[in-house]
Amino acid sequence: MHVPTLSIVGVGLLGGSIALACRQKKLAGRIVGYDPSADALRRAADRGMLDEATDDVCRAVARASLVVFCVPVDRIAEVVGACAEACRPGTLLTDVGSTKTAIVRRLAGRLPPGVNFVGSHPLAGSEKTGPENARADLFEGRLVVLTPVGDPPAAVWTIGDFWRALGARVETMSPEKHDEVLATTSHLPHLVASVLAGVLPLEWKRLTATGFRDTTRLAAGSPELWRAIFLCNQPALLAAVGDFQAHLERFRDALAKGDGERLRLLLEQGKYVRDSLSEP
Amino acid sequence: MHVPTLSIVGVGLLGGSIALACRQKKLAGRIVGYDPSADALRRAADRGMLDEATDDVCRAVARASLVVFCVPVDRIAEVVGACAEACRPGTLLTDVGSTKTAIVRRLAGRLPPGVNFVGSHPLAGSEKTGPENARADLFEGRLVVLTPVGDPPAAVWTIGDFWRALGARVETMSPEKHDEVLATTSHLPHLVASVLAGVLPLEWKRLTATGFRDTTRLAAGSPELWRAIFLCNQPALLAAVGDFQAHLERFRDALAKGDGERLRLLLEQGKYVRDSLSEP
């Protein structure tokens, strides 16, 4: 795998980590970075991850062989649409968005001939943001989900190769299935962590320990990014929240009735699932 | 601080960690351990944390200057009551239970003359159990809450000294206040983690990442221990669950209405609280 010119649109945590990983693995001949924030561009450049930094997104993609869009999910389709005309035929486009249906369906059939977009979602990240937190090993051993919809097989294969070269495993599914699953495995935990943090009276914070901190870690994520993710995956996330509410009510009911045997069974089931998750 | 004979009733994760810490800091002349499980006693003895191991709880406490009860919360008052007559006058008793009101109120005024029980709750632990997971540094920098109710000040001070000698900070509050606060800071996160783990279809587990794993870590804890904690703190935990349900409904409602500004504010509030928690 070799990418003559890699363009990264949005040099935050994910874009920066892609750049660092490509540097370390010598995957790209040249790395061009765009960001709407001059400060983020400078911090990315300071870490030596870019050969060229520009605040002109069309210039950033004009000579690219592969462009990775690392902007908030509610902006991806718009930014891809705005850039696509500036790309040479043969340019491959992908993204890192945590929701897929709205993006992929909006772009399907609307790109110039020879320019292909294949949706990607690397299941990797951090509550920390910005290129200063980027890590070359962020994708090592992680899963990347591709959500092709009628794209040329060679395009899908190349995007998969790219992620595999960064150390990731790759799986393919429909954007709708992706969004249904991720609503439960990623978006719901974020929402739940934020609810839990939100009910803590601040004067009790010295009485929290590692349990509260771990369970609420995700709540430290960017409200702006996560609001966009929640809204872009609204129907599937509402269904996941409904499942959570129904299951929570089972716990509450068993507790209210003092039904120890039912509480134990509910806790056993949660433990069974949690114990079955492999460590990262 | 020096304890001529320290007795530990229940040599699991917490009892074992107390023994290891006392060994390392040379706080105890002699450490006697009791456990109803012969296997746990053997594993504790194998780690060299006990001078004497016995399956006779009255024998374990008979010569003690200080006894720490490390048994499930629903058994503490009963075991303390059964042992107290076997203690010499002047013996100090404490525990490590995660709930306090039921234990402390049941024992108040019912111990033999000269034998005092001061409730303790070290905010330290792990989803792992058993003496094989015990660590000498488990209490280092952690908070221990004492819940005295009319106990002699010297007894309260000595128990505080003991925990400070293990590296902990010590704070005093009423058992009722303790249970109200810990319902939100400890018992609710456990319940929420278990609910979240419980709604994950097993066939989706490969699509979880660190976020799901961290948010559900607590669900791996012992169902038996946590059922007892939930039931011993039933009224306060029900109130905390009610607060959580009401706040969750605010998120669900904002999401259902597509109210991005309200979602952002709710996420901002959760982030503000989470960011204000110091790292352990």
Q: How far is B239 from chain A (nearest CA, A)?
A: 10
Q: Does residue B23 share a domain with residue B87?
A: yes
pTM higher than the cut 0.90:
yes
- pLDDT of B279 reads 60
**Tens digit of each residue's pLDDT (9 = 90 or more) over B105-136:** 999 889 999 999 999 999 997 778 899 999 99
Q: Does residue B143 share a domain with residue B198?
A: no
Indicate the residue among B173, B195, B230 that finishes a domain. Answer: B173
Q: Does residue B105 share a domain with residue B208?
A: no
pLDDT exceeding 70 applies to what percent of chain B? 99
For residue A188, the domain's CATH number is: 1.10.3660.10
Q: Does residue B160 share a domain with residue B252?
A: no
Q: Does residue A21 share a domain with residue A89?
A: yes
| Contact between A161 and A212 (Cβ < 8 Å) | no
**Tens digit of each residue's pLDDT (9 = 90 or more) over B23-80:** 999 999 999 999 999 999 999 999 999 999 999 999 999 999 999 999 999 999 999 9
Q: Does residue A182 share a domain with residue A167?
A: no
Q: CA torsion A110→A111→A112→A113, rounded to 10°?
A: -90
* H or E element at residue A68: strand A66-69
Strands (E) in B43-187, as ranges, are 52-54, 66-69, 92-95, 116-118, 120-122, 143-146, 169-172
| Contact between A35 and A25 (Cβ < 8 Å) | no
Indicate the residue among A154, A173, A192 that finishes a domain. Answer: A173
Mean pLDDT of the residues in chain B: 95
Neighbours of B154 (CB within 10 A): 10
Q: Does residue B107 share a domain with residue B12?
A: yes
C-alpha to C-alpha distance for A154 and A135, rounded to whole angstroms = 29
Cβ separation A186–B211 shorter than 8 A? yes
Taking a contact as any Cβ pair under 8 Å apart, which residues of chain A between 116 and 135 contact chain B? 123-125
| Contact between B146 and B172 (Cβ < 8 Å) | yes
Mean pLDDT of the residues in chain A: 95
The ipTM of this complex is 0.92
Q: Does residue A204 share a domain with residue A161?
A: no
* H or E element at residue B248: helix B234-256
Whether the per-residue pLDDT at B280 is higher than 90: the answer is: no
- pLDDT of B85 reads 94
| Contact between A151 and A120 (Cβ < 8 Å) | no
Q: What are phi and psi of B55, to 5 degrees?
A: -100, 15
**Tens digit of each residue's pLDDT (9 = 90 or more) over A200-234:** 999 999 999 999 999 999 999 999 999 999 999 99
Count of domains observed in chain B:
2
List the single residue in A197, A201, A223 with the smallest CB-CB distance to B264. A223
C-alpha to C-alpha distance for A80 and A99, rounded to whole angstroms = 15
- pLDDT of A279 reads 60
List the single residue in A194, A209, A237 with the smallest CB-CB distance to B123. A209
Enclosing domain of residue A101: 3-173
Q: For chain A, report the end-to-end CA distance as a whole number of angstroms.
A: 26
Q: Does residue A181 share a domain with residue A151?
A: no
C-alpha to C-alpha distance for B117 and B81, rounded to whole angstroms = 10
Q: Does residue A137 share a domain with residue A7?
A: yes
What strands, in cross-sheet order, belong to the sheet with B92-95?
Answer: B52-54, B28-34, B3-9, B66-69, B92-95, B116-118
C-alpha to C-alpha distance for A5 and B227, rounded to whole angstroms = 58
CA nearest to B188 within chain A: A196
Q: Does residue A97 share a domain with residue A8?
A: yes
**Buried (b) or exposed (e) across A22-51, using 16+ Cβ within 10 A?**
bbeeebbeebbbbbeeeebbebbbeeebbb
**Tens digit of each residue's pLDDT (9 = 90 or more) over B233-278:** 999 999 999 999 999 999 999 999 999 999 999 999 999 999 999 7
**Buried (b) or exposed (e) across B53-65, using 16+ Cβ within 10 A?**
bbeebeebbbbbb
Q: Does residue B196 share a domain with residue B119?
A: no
Cβ separation B220–A260 shorter than 8 A? no
Dihedral sign for Cα atoms in the order B35, B39, B41, B43: negative
Cβ separation B218–A215 shorter than 8 A? yes
C-alpha to C-alpha distance for B163 and B141, rounded to whole angstroms = 10
C-alpha to C-alpha distance for B18 and B8, rounded to whole angstroms = 8
Cβ separation A197–B273 shorter than 8 A? yes
Indicate the residue among B132, B150, B173 that finishes a domain. Answer: B173
For residue A103, the domain's CATH number is: 3.40.50.720
